[in-house]
Structure 1
């Protein structure tokens, strides 16, 4: 009988799984990021709200409004919800549904960022979003 030593391999696999995070950890992270963004909208904290946006989303908002993000964000008319209802994570992408909005997020090295907000579902078509990345 031959003994296979799997210690180093197990350590590498465990480290890789921990770095990526399990589904529960990713769902919690995405829900937390969405909740913080929504809280910033309710508090009219546009600096924090803009910091929560993905770079491409922030750039698209500023270009389309021809204003800096902190001035453009309140003009969009997002209706911040109070409660997260569902979170779906697909690899490095997530969809968070609140009681008033649907948000899409992407995982970045510094955490989850909002890639689209103010989104409403349309039958058999892509979501229609007030804010989205370019």
Structure 2
């Protein structure tokens, strides 16, 4: 019986550690996508920035996307970021910007950027999907 309890405890511990690792990996991937997006937009590489936008967000950018996204004058990401993952959604806060992301079959995509908090009201975003 003790052997069974030890094995069950070991299995539960391994599953918990695997779950934490998964959240950390997802969080890191979301932050990396947000960072790539903002850096590309700030550097004037509209094609790279549009490449990580969610389809509905890209559709809202003035055509062509590669020019329209650069016109939004998004700032480069700060060195520090706070990332929160909520299931299939993520929020990445940089010093001067907040980016919202969602998981798609090919990975994280930006659904809104250039977002500023407004207290109890929804964020005000310069780039967002419909």
- What is the total number of aligned residue pairs between the two structures? 116
> Using the alignment, how far apart are the partners of 1:79 and 1:42 within structure 2?
5
Matched, 1:106 2:94: no
Q: List alignment gaps of at least 5 residues for structure 1.
A: 4-9
Q: List alignment gaps of at least 5 residues for structure 2.
A: 5-10
> Using the alignment, how far apart are the partners of 2:31 and 2:94 within structure 1?
10
C-alpha distance after superposition, 1:62-94 (max 9, x if no partner) = xxx3x2101111111222223242000000100
> Using the alignment, how far apart are the partners of 1:101 and 1:51 within structure 2?
19
Q: TM-score, normalised by structure 2?
A: 0.80
> Using the alignment, how far apart are the partners of 1:84 and 1:106 within structure 2?
21
Residue 73 of structure 2 aligns to a residue in which SS?
coil
The partner residue of 1:68 within 64, 69, 74 is 64
Pair 1:37–1:84, CA change in 2 (3 A): farther
Matched, 1:93 2:89: yes
Shift of 1:42: 2.9
Matched, 1:80 2:64: no
Q: TM-score, normalised by structure 1?
A: 0.78
> What is the CA RMSD across the aligned residues, in angstroms?
2.0
CA contact (8 A) 1:31 1:84 kept: no
Runs of 4+ in 1 over 3 A off after TM superposition: none
Pair 1:109–1:84, CA change in 2 (3 A): farther
